[in-house]
Amino acid sequence: MHQQSRFFRHSLAGKLAGGLALLAGAVLLVPTNADAQRSYSRTATSGKAQWIDAYYGWNNDCSFKTIDVDVIDGPGHGRVSPKVETRKITQAQVGNTGGCLGKPTRAVAVYYTSKKGYRGVDRFRVRMKVGGQPPVIFSYSVSVR
């Protein structure tokens, strides 16, 4: 059973304090219901931190853009942890990269760690929202070995 949780709520505008920022392109498109959900599969080693995804946001001038993220369904057999990193812009989940492709920006990477000894599939969901746009839900299925 998945735990309901609301940790990692953050806009990365000031102090990080356990938050996330999420990928959005220079031109933000309003997602339709079909576009509002994205699903990804990952693998992880039991009890070890595993990189799952990284979330970015940038403005037309490639400066950092604030985006809110909530973990809306936490994993049932582990935990999700954020880590602020500098990463290069490689693609946009919403909108496009514009002239920012390859430029560095702040990002929050998401790491998943299962309970020690757990083997099987774990799941969690993240909701992203940016500036008055409808939210996008990212669902992760993690195969723990």
Residue closest to 131 by CA, chosen among 33, 17, 37, 22? 22
Residue-wise pLDDT for 11-36, tens only, equals 443 333 333 433 333 333 333 344 47
pLDDT at 56: 77
> Residue type at 110?
V
pLDDT at 29: 32
Q: Pull the structure tokens for residue 134.
A: 């409808």
Tell me what the pLDDT averaged over the chain comes to.
75
Residue 14 C-alpha from the chain's centroid = 18
d(CA 44, CA 94): 27
CA dist list (Å): 48 to 53, 58, 127, 145? 16, 31, 24, 10
pLDDT at 12: 43
pLDDT at 28: 33
Answer whether 2's CB lies under 8 Å from 74's CB: yes
Ranges of residues in the chain with a pLDDT under 70 are 1-35, 93-95, 130-133
